[in-house]
């Protein structure tokens, strides 16, 4: 079953007057990337949070937002003023003012924009009870995220397998056309050969050998068709696997493209050339879809 790299999930819970909200967003990326935005005291568990994510998601750019809403708490005694940090931020604002606009006054909203730097909890680190709750919400948000990723993946899988069926069907037709073309090429070659044999004076032995070698090389695409068929079957098996197969499918597409290009270079038949063009179009559409598979 294919899993999409894009999705959204969230989980929330109210505890001790604080509303905890965890939101996860996942988008396409060649590698695994985790971006975390949360209150400063929870950042002390950044490594643990990243490990929770990496255990479930192998590829994609994942944004985690952890928000604490304390609006229901009447007493915010847990929040204290870090006067040293406040002074540092004021000094920075004064330097900015001096360089940018000396006449501009420093207003309260300018100071409050740096509130994350000088307003902090009494405790520098999240306690274990709170982090247990945060961890639970991250896992619930991951479950919600995966539900969407699976639904997206199911749509992608249906489209991809339909296009793989087109590849398989058209490659079979190419194989049949190739056999027919071989018979026709042999007929034409035999006619030419009879002309040579009827007039020994015009026979060029080296030219005859060259024509035979060229004909054999151009006619034989059996090996490429067999390999293409093998890649298609392995592609189907990989799609039905329980593993995350995005990279493997991308590799198989590259191998299919290699075989199709070889067939195209050998084909001297207009109908085969048209079908090769169709194969390339379908392959490109599959490639676009695979970029979103984890």
Q: What is the CATH number of the domain that holds 215?
A: 1.20.120
Check pLDDT > 60 for residue 237.
Answer: yes
- Nearest 5°: the CA angle 54, 55, 60 is 40
Residue among 58, 11, 10, 28 at smallest CA distance from 152: 28
3 state SS for the chain? CCCECCEEEEEEEEECCEEEEEEEEEECCCCEEEEEECCHHHHHHHHHHHHHHHCCCCCEEEEEEEEEECCCCCCCCCEEECHHHHHHHHHHHHHHHHHHCCCCCCCHHHHHCCHHHHEEECCCCCCHHHHHHHHHHHHHHHHHHHHHHHHHHHHHHHHHHHHHHHHHHHHHHHHHHHHHHHHHHHHHHHHHHHHHHHCHHHCCHHHHHHHHHHHHHHHCCHHHHHHHHHHHHHHHHHHCCCCCCHHHHHHHHHHHHHHHHHHHHHCCCHHHHHHHHHHHHHHHHHHHHHCCEC
Residue 45: the pLDDT is 92
| Residue 186 falls inside a structural domain | yes
Residues 219 and 115 in one domain: no
Residue with the larger pLDDT of the pair 204 and 163: 163
Range of the domain at 99: 79-121
| Residue 20 falls inside a structural domain | no
Percent of the chain residues topping a pLDDT of 70 = 80
In the chain, how many domains are there?
2
Please state whether the predicted TM-score (pTM) of the whole model is above 0.85: no
- Nearest 5°: the CA angle 149, 293, 285 is 120
Percent of the chain residues topping a pLDDT of 90 = 43
| Residue 115 falls inside a structural domain | yes
Residues 200 and 258 in one domain: yes
Residues 201 and 246 in one domain: yes
Least confident range of 43-47, 80-84, 202-206, 223-227: 202-206
Residues 245 and 116 in one domain: no
| Residue 11 falls inside a structural domain | no
| Cα–Cα distance for residue pair 60/20, rounded to 1 Å | 25
Residue 77: the pLDDT is 47
| Residue 88 falls inside a structural domain | yes
| Residue 44 falls inside a structural domain | no
Check pLDDT > 90 for residue 123.
Answer: no
Residues 83 and 201 in one domain: no
Check pLDDT > 70 for residue 80.
Answer: no
| Residue 102 falls inside a structural domain | yes
Residue 287: the pLDDT is 92
pLDDT band at residue 32 using 50, 70 and 90 as cut-offs: confident
- Domain end position, chosen among 121, 143, 176: 121
pLDDT band at residue 118 using 50, 70 and 90 as cut-offs: low
Residues 168 and 272 in one domain: yes
* For range 46-59, the mean pLDDT: 92
- Domain end position, chosen among 121, 143, 171: 121
Residues 108 and 214 in one domain: no
Give the CA count within 13 Å in the CB-facing half-sphere of 121: 13
Residue 144: the pLDDT is 96
Residue 216: the pLDDT is 61
Least confident range of 90-94, 182-186, 241-245: 182-186
């Amino acid at each position: 079953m294919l899993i999409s790299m894009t999705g959204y999930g969230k989980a929330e819970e109210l505890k001790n007057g604080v509303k905890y909200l965890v939101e996860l967003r996942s988008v396409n990326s060649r590698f695994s990337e985790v971006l975390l935005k949360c209150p400063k005291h929870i950042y002390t568990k950044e490594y643990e949070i990243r490990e929770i994510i990496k255990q479930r998601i192998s590829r994609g750019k994942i944004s985690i937002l952890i928000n604490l809403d304390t609006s229901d708490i009447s007493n915010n005694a847990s929040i204290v003023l870090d006067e040293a940090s406040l002074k540092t931020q004021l000094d920075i604002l004064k330097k900015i003012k001096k360089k940018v606009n000396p006449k501009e006054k420093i207003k309260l909203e300018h100071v409050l924009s740096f509130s994350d730097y000088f307003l902090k909890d009494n405790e520098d680190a999240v306690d274990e009870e709170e982090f247990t709750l945060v961890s639970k919400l991250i896992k619930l948000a991951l479950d919600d995220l995966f539900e969407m990723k699976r639904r997206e993946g199911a749509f992608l899988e249906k489209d991809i397998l339909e296009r793989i069926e087109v590849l398989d069907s058209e490659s079979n037709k190419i194989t049949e056309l190739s056999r027919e073309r071989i018979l026709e090429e042999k007929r034409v070659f035999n006619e030419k050969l009879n002309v040579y044999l009827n007039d020994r004076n015009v026979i060029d032995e080296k030219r005859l050998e060259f024509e035979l070698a060229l004909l054999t090389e151009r006619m034989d695409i059996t090996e490429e068709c067999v390999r293409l068929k093998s890649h298609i079957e392995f592609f189907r098996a990989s799609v039905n696997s329980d593993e995350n197969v995005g990279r493997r499918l991308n590799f198989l597409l590259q191998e299919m493209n290699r075989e199709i290009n070889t067939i195209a270079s050998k084909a001297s038949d207009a109908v085969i050339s048209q079908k090769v063009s169709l194969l390339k179009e379908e392959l490109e559409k599959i490639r676009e879809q695979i970029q979103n598979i984890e």
